[in-house]
Amino acid sequence: MWRMEDVLEQYALPYDPKRPLVCVDERPCQLLSDSRAALPMQTGQPARYDYEYVRQGRCNLFMVFEPLTGWRDTTITAHRKHADFAYLLRDVVDIHFPQADIIRVVLDNLNIHSPASLYATFEPAEARRILHKLEFHHTPKHGSWLNMVELELSVLVRQCLGQRIPDMAALQRQVTAWQEPRNAQHATVHWQFSVENARTKLSRLYPSLPVR
């Protein structure tokens, strides 16, 4: 249970610009285009779309979410590989939080979510430079629901991805248009689950100590 408590303790800490907390996750996206041109909207008649569609392949969407400031950044990649994750971490360090001393990263246990991705992508000195600025906090196995970015990804799916998007460039435009007003509003997740809640509500998951 130490992984769960570790993540929950990170959420309870106050905002520190020198030690920002970000949550990272990704999701696959299917690209779809219309099989026929839509009929345009007319007076008294909405635009009409054919129910058939054409599959245009799949891609990946990464999200970096800073809950204490209500900021998020989404990146579309062709794959979900070690190199894609490594380049994302480099952007977190060099572009998004260059003034931070340490960046605390909450993430699940996907195989690419490890320092090995950096060493598989960059020269050792560069990998070490990036890793030196990062502090990983992994959720427990089967406990990815503890990652706040999953809630933000759920909002993205509901508000933005329920439409046919034919290619990666169009998908990036759509998610950027979605995230800009949310960033401007500092929309965030109001997390309520604490270490104390976990010890009470999930007590069955904790080991039982022998009575002395």
Q: What is the pLDDT of residue 41?
A: 61
Q: Which residue has the tokens 């030690």?
A: 19
The total number of structural domains in the chain stands at: 1
Q: What is the pLDDT of residue 48?
A: 52
Q: What is the pLDDT of residue 38?
A: 58
Q: What is the pLDDT of residue 73?
A: 98
Q: Is 186 left (phi over 0), alpha (psi -120 to 50) or beta?
A: left
Q: What is the distance of C-alpha 132 from the center of its chain?
A: 21
Low-confidence ranges of the chain (pLDDT < 70): 34-42, 44-53, 206-212
Q: What is the pLDDT of residue 210?
A: 65
Q: What is the pLDDT of residue 34?
A: 60
Q: Does residue 125 sit within a domain?
A: yes
Q: Does residue 86 sit within a domain?
A: yes
Pair 33, 54: CB distance under 8 Å = yes
In terms of Cβ atoms closer than 10 Å to its own Cβ (0-12, 13-18, 19+), residue 80 is middle
Q: Does residue 124 sit within a domain?
A: yes
Q: What is the pLDDT of residue 163?
A: 84
Domain that holds residue 148: 2-33+53-192
Q: Does residue 91 sit within a domain?
A: yes
CATH label of the domain that carries residue 185: 3.30.420.10
Q: Does residue 105 sit within a domain?
A: yes
Q: What is the pLDDT of residue 89?
A: 98
